[in-house]
Amino acid sequence: MVRKQVRMANLKKTVIRDPFWSEKQRLITDTVIPYQEKILNDEIPGVEKSHAFANFRIAAGLEEGEFYGMVFQDSDVAKWLEGVAYSLAVKPDAELEARADAVIDVIAQAQQPDGYLNTYFTIKEPEHRYQNLHECHELYCAGHMMEAAAAYYEVTGKDKLLRVMEAMADNIAAHFGPGKAFGIPGHQEIEIGLMRLYHVTGKEAYRDLAEYFLDSRGTDPEWFAKEKEKRGWTHFDLDPADTKYNQSFAPVREQTKAEGHAVRAVYMYTAMADVAAATGDEAMFHACETLWNNIVEKRMYVTGGIGSTVEGEAFSVDYDLPNDTVYAETCASIGFVFFNKQMLDITLDGKYADLMELELYNGVISGMQLDGRRFFYVNPLEVNPGISGELFGFRHVLPQRPGWYACACCPPNVVRMLTSLGKYVWSENEETVFANLFIGGEADLDKARVHMDSGYPWEGRVSYTVESKTAERFSLAIHIPAYIKEFTVTVNGGKAAYEMKKGFCYLTRSWGAGDRVELSFELPVRRVYANSAVRADAGCVALKRGPLVYCFEGRDNGEELQALRLLPESAFVPCRTEDAGLRGNLVLKGNGIRMVTSEGLYSEEPPKAEKAELTAIPYYSWGNRGLNQMRVWMLEK
């Protein structure tokens, strides 16, 4: 039967101490969270107005004013609060916690007597509650606030927001479900939120409501059209006939390809996997496997980005992966981490940890400037100044990160992702402690306290110190990324016996106090080629080292990157960079050629090849040194 095979690590008992990730968490706690707090309070000049905190104060009757922002503006506050909760586990901060408590007090005051909570409809259109699920995202906002409530309770032990969101969940349950009104969310997320409430409270009603929303989806593909006709008004004027956009074209267990809006899709798949494990639903789990395979084998960028078209921020068709008109929303990569973690917890299959790693090191952190003050919504694999961000069809592909967005879902999503890293690194069951990622730090688990020291992603060196809490034998299972073909592992300096199962190295023994495991492996530069069905990458190669995808910028390689060619015989070697804009990252240096043509637009003379020294930088760090060209996929001679 399908079930979760592990317990998630308690974030309050995990610490990230890692040369790569600790700096990013420090940026989040010290810079990004306070910066976003000021933005949500409209205290930062020169960026998009948020008004999100003010909306709650107005809904609570604490100040006068009108609602401002997107209909789902409440979700920005929810994700910020969730990020704050996790940050308090990373770095306790009494002043920040007090400010978050004050925000929660306002949220509680904004809640209506019947439990309903949504500032847009409370302030602006109270007569239209639950009439436009297709466009207006009441359930989406509720889901994010439920996640925030669960996180805040888990970390601080304070249940005020949890009780608020239980009341909202009860309000939703009073309206929708068997024998009540039929309804499905336009943007999936409530399902994740309800499952978070279920796991925290143990109340099966929340699990049942999440399952209801999933079970109902796609059973009547014309339902959103019927809803629109019944209400007689629109908000965004979304096309209800586009059932692929919100995955309502077929029942979820019958869906075989990742379709439509990428964030909606992976949020739904995350909830499907969670519900499948909680209920033992084999058919739903197998649908998750089928959809995952379609994404990874035919609809995912080499960086882990998903969603290849701006039209609907969506998946398109198999192998359609354009690099310069890509969408690859940061939120979609984060959502795919969520989905992979659920699948990993069910299967204990390292292929899902591989995808978590790919996303975290590439598709997620590329969404944030290295200084933590600017953010990408779209994560392209090629930008060309003068075209990207300017010409029709390319305007969404910004060549530099803005400070904020009117639709600001991605920046706070990055916050909650990076502050909750500990629960992705560690998990355990009755027989095994699992180390899923090479992210250094400590975890105080039921069976042992484990300290991990990691030189990753720059060095192939990881060690574990195990302080056992039991005399019984148990396993330490270390995930070995699929690209690592050979490795050595020792215990207390001696050769270790181990068993490989589904990408995990299982070391089983009676552990003592301070047993030390050392793992070492090479990190060669690898050349990656796309399937020949991917038109955009024909004749091209991409470079990877360890978990990192690399790219080329004009700043290092001159203008017209399209004129450069990588030579098959030329080796790229890692080097430390002195460029302050890259903050000490390892770059790759190698020889290539530049193709030089005549000055005319066309010529019968073939281009001439000139030697060129080439530099590639980690993809996540591009766009930190001013406006310039960038490419991941390079032509190969």
In which band, very low, low, confident or very high, does the pLDDT at 608 lie, cut at 50, 70 and 90? very high
Percentage above 70 pLDDT, the chain: 99
Give 414's contacts (C-beta < 8 A, 6+ positions apart): 28, 32, 330, 334, 364, 365, 367, 368, 375
pLDDT class for 264, splitting at 50, 70, 90? very high
pLDDT for the residue numbered 45: 86
313: annotated active-site residue:
yes
348 torsion bin: left (phi>0), alpha (psi -120 to 50), beta (else): left
What is the pLDDT at residue 46?
Answer: 83
- 331 is annotated as an active-site residue: no
Mean pLDDT in residue range 179-193: 96
What is the pLDDT at residue 49? 86
Catalytic one of 138, 154, 166, 313: 313
* 409: confidence class by pLDDT, cuts 50, 70, 90: low
Nearest to 341 by CA among 15, 24, 5, 620: 5
Calculate mean pLDDT across residues 174-186: 95
Cβ 143 vs Cβ 191: under 8 Å: yes
Q: How confident is the model at residue 580 (pLDDT cuts 50, 70, 90)?
A: confident
For domain 429-520, which architecture applies?
A: Sandwich (2.60)
- CA distance linking residue 344 with residue 342, whole number of Å: 5
Range 219-223 contact pairs with CB under 8 angstroms and sequence separation of 24 or more: 219/251, 220/182, 221/248, 221/249, 221/250, 223/182, 223/184, 223/248
Share of the chain above pLDDT 90, in %: 90
pLDDT band at 511 (very low <50, low <70, confident <90, very high): very high
Q: How confident is the model at residue 408 (pLDDT cuts 50, 70, 90)?
A: low
Q: Give the whole-angstrom CA distance, residue 564 versus residue 618.
A: 18
- Assess whether pLDDT exceeds 70 at residue 332: yes
DSSP string, 136-189: H-HHHHHHHHHHHHHHHHHHH---HHHHHHHHHHHHHHHHBSTTSB----SS--
Task: Give CATH 1.50.10 domain extents, the chain.
Answer: 7-395+403-425
478 conformational bin, left if phi > 0, alpha if psi -120 to 50, beta if neither:
beta
How much is the average pLDDT of 394-422? Answer: 81
In one-letter notation, the amino acid at residue 428 is E
Q: Does the structure show a pLDDT above 90 at 631?
A: yes
| CA of residue 305 relative to chain centroid, distance | 10
In degrees and rounded to multiples of 5, residue 500 shows phi and psi of: -95, 125
Q: List, by residue range, all CATH 2.60.40.1180 domains of the chain.
A: 429-520
94-141 pLDDT, tens per residue?
A: 999 999 999 999 999 999 999 999 999 999 999 999 999 999 999 999
Please list the helix, strand and coil fractions of the chain in percent, rounded to the nearest 5, in that order: 40, 20, 40
Cα 297 to Cα 291: distance, rounded to the nearest angstrom:
10
Tokens of 315: 């998946």
Residue 404 in this model has a pLDDT that exceeds 70: no
The encoded tokens of residue 70 equal: 């997107």
pLDDT in tens, 234-257: 998 899 999 999 999 999 999 999
From 215-229, 373-387, 442-456, 559-573, the region with the lowest mean pLDDT: 373-387
Range 625-631 average pLDDT? 95
Q: What's the pLDDT at 317?
A: 98
Select the CATH number that applies to the domain covering 7-395+403-425 from these four: 1.10.3470, 3.30.9, 1.50.10, 2.60.120.
1.50.10
Quote the CA–CA distance of 194 and 271 in Å, as a whole number: 9
Q: Which amino acid is at 423?
A: K
Active-site pick, 409, 410, 505, 551: 409
Give the burial class of 532: count Cβ atoms within 10 A of its Cβ; 0-12 exposed, 13-18 middle, 19 or more buried.
exposed
* Residues, the chain: 637
- Is the pLDDT at 518 greater than 60? The verdict is yes
pLDDT band at 405 (very low <50, low <70, confident <90, very high): low
pLDDT over threshold 80, residue 479: yes
**Is residue 315 scored above 90 in pLDDT?**
yes
What is the rounded distance in angstroms from the CA atom of residue 563 to the CA atom of residue 148? 49
Name the β-bridge partners of 521: none
pLDDT at position 598, please? 84
Q: How far apart are CA 358 and CA 547, in angstroms?
A: 6
Quick one: which of 511, 303, 337 has its CA closest to 423?
Answer: 337
For residue 406, pLDDT over 60 is answered with no
Residue-wise pLDDT for 155-179, tens only, equals 999 999 999 999 999 999 999 999 9
Mean pLDDT for the chain overall: 95
Angstrom distances, CA of residue 39 to CA of 27, 45, 105, 562: 16, 9, 19, 39
CA separation for the pair 98, 96 (Å, rounded): 5
Q: How far apart are CA 295 and CA 69, in angstroms?
A: 33
For residues 598 and 290, the answer to whether their CB atoms sit within 8 Å is no
Over the Cα atoms of the chain, what is R_g?
Answer: 25
β-strand pairing of 474-479 with 432-435: parallel
